[in-house]
Amino acid sequence: MEFVAIVALLALLQYIWFAVLVGQARGKYGVNGPAVTGHPVFERYFRVQMNTLELLIALLPGLWLFAHYVSPTWSAVLGAVYLVGRFLYLRSYVSDPARRGAGFGLSMLPILALLLGALAGAVRNL
Amino acid sequence: MEFVAIVALLALLQYIWFAVLVGQARGKYGVNGPAVTGHPVFERYFRVQMNTLELLIALLPGLWLFAHYVSPTWSAVLGAVYLVGRFLYLRSYVSDPARRGAGFGLSMLPILALLLGALAGAVRNL
Amino acid sequence: MEFVAIVALLALLQYIWFAVLVGQARGKYGVNGPAVTGHPVFERYFRVQMNTLELLIALLPGLWLFAHYVSPTWSAVLGAVYLVGRFLYLRSYVSDPARRGAGFGLSMLPILALLLGALAGAVRNL
C-alpha cells in the first residue's frame, strides 16, 4: 500500500503547487481576493486549481478502494497516469484553454477506471 | 463494509455525471472555459456540481467514521438517503433554484447525522 | 486514532458552520443562487468556505497518513493548529481580506507538515 499512499500524497502536493501558481498569478495580474475573475490568464490558473480539486475528491477514495478490492499495484499505476495527465492539463490550459482535452482525458480516465474497478470489486465481495 | 464502499462509489459516480451535465451545458449554452458564468441555466448546472463537491468532502469521511464507530448498515442507509436527496436537488435546482430546499435538506441532513454520530462514537471510545 | 478522528470531524463541522454563514450572508445581502457574487461581504464569506474546502481535501488524507506512518498524537496536534488557524482566517478575512495572511499560514503550514511528514514516512517504509 505504500506506493498508493505515495501517489496520493504526490497528487496532493501537485495540487498545492497549482494553488501556489494561483497565488502568484493574483500578484502578477493584480487580481485581489475575494475576486476570482479580472484577468484571463489568472482565470486559467484558477480553473486549473478548481478542476484539480474537483477530480481529487474522486481520485483519493478511488485509489484506496481500488487498492483494497482489486490491486494496490494497478491503483498506483493508474494514479501515476493521473499525475502526468494533470501536469499536461496545467501546461495546455494555461497556454490555450481550447487545447486542454488530452490532459483532461489523461487525468479523468484513470479516475473512472479506479471507481468502476472498485465498484465491481466491492459488488463481487458482497 | 462493502455496502458503505458501494454507496460511496455511487455518490462519486453521481457527481461525475453532474460534471458531465456541466460539460454538456457549456456546449449547449456557449459558455467556454475558463468562464463559469454567462447563461443562467449553465450556472444552475455548475452550482449543482459545485454544491455536490462541497458536500462530498464531508460525506465520504462521515460514511467511514460512522461505519467504524457506530454501524456500517446505518452508514449505508444514510448514504442512500443522500443519493436520493442529491438527485432531487439536481432536478429541482435546474427547473427552479428557489425550490431546491427539499433536495438540499435530504442530502445535507444525512451528512450531519453521519458526522455527529461518528463524533459521539469516537468520544465514547476515548 | 480516536483523537485524529475527532479533529477530522471537528474540521468538517467547522466547515459546515462556514457554509451556514454563507447561507445567512445570501439572505442578509440579497445574493440569490446560483449567483456567487453581488456584495463584497457575501463574497468574503463565500471565499472563506471555498478556501476551506480547498484545504480540507489535503488535510483529511494528511491527518490519516501522518497518523499511520509517523504519529497519531502529532497528527491530532497539527490538526488542532489547523482548526485554530481556520477560525482566525474566518475572522480576519471577513473584517479585512488584506489581513488574512496569519490565519491562512496557521491553517496551511500544518497541512504541509502532515503531507511531507507522511510522504517521508511512506518512503521510509518501502
Q: Mean pLDDT of all residues in chain B?
A: 95
Instruction: Give the pLDDT band (50/70/90) at residue C21.
Output: very high
Compute the average pLDDT of residues C77-93: 97
Instruction: Give the pLDDT band (50/70/90) at residue C23.
Output: very high
Please tell me the pTM assigned to this model.
0.95
**Can you give the pLDDT at residue B4?**
98
| Distances A125 to A68, A70, A111 between C-alpha atoms, Å | 11, 11, 21
Instruction: Give the pLDDT band (50/70/90) at residue B1.
Output: confident
**Closest CB from B93, B98, B115 relative to C13:** B115
For residue B113, give the C-alpha cell. Answer: 447525522
CB contact under 8 A, C9 and B122: yes
Q: Crossing angle for the helix pair B2-29 and A101-124, nearest 10 degrees? A: 150
On whether any CB of chain A is under 8 Å from the CB of B10, the answer is yes
On whether any CB of chain C is under 8 Å from the CB of A13, the answer is yes
Task: Give the side-chain half-sphere CA count within 13 A for A13.
Answer: 15
Sign of the dihedral through C-alpha B6, C67, C3, A56: negative
**Can you give the pLDDT at residue B36?**
87
User: Which residue has cell 495580474?
Assistant: A29
Residues of chain A with pLDDT under 50: none
**Can you give the pLDDT at residue B44?**
94
Instruction: Give the pLDDT band (50/70/90) at residue C115.
Output: very high
**Can you give the pLDDT at residue A73?**
98
B110: Cβ–Cβ under 8 A, 6 or more apart, which residues? B59, B78, B79, B81, B82, B85
Contact B85, B104 (CB under 8 A): yes
CB contact under 8 A, C16 and B115: yes
**Can you give the pLDDT at residue B34?**
83
Rounded CA-CA distance A67/A115 in Å is: 11
B68: Cβ–Cβ under 8 A, 6 or more apart, which residues? B118, B121, C5
Rounded CA-CA distance C124/A6 in Å is: 11
**Can you give the pLDDT at residue C29?**
95
Instruction: Give the pLDDT band (50/70/90) at residue B35.
Output: confident
Task: Please name which of C20, C1, A9, C49 lies closest in space to residue B64, comparing C-alpha atoms.
Answer: C1
CB contact under 8 A, A9 and C97: no
H helix or E strand, kind and range, residue A74: helix A72-95
**Can you give the pLDDT at residue C39?**
92
Q: What's the 3-state SS for C89-126?
A: HHHHHHHCHHHCHHHHHHHHHHHHHHHHHHHHHHHHCC
**Can you give the pLDDT at residue B101?**
87
pLDDT per residue as tens digits for the range B77-112:
999 999 999 999 999 999 988 888 899 999 999 999
Residue B8: other Cβ atoms inside 10 A: 26
| C109 φ/ψ angles, rounded to the nearest 5 degrees | -60, -40
Instruction: Give the pLDDT band (50/70/90) at residue C80.
Output: very high
**Can you give the pLDDT at residue C8?**
98
Task: Please name which of C101, C99, C86, C76 lies closest in space to residue C48, comparing C-alpha atoms.
Answer: C86
**Can you give the pLDDT at residue A42?**
94
CB contact under 8 A, A32 and C97: yes
Quote ipTM for the complex. Answer: 0.93
On whether any CB of chain B is under 8 Å from the CB of C22, the answer is no
Compute the average pLDDT of residues C78-99: 94
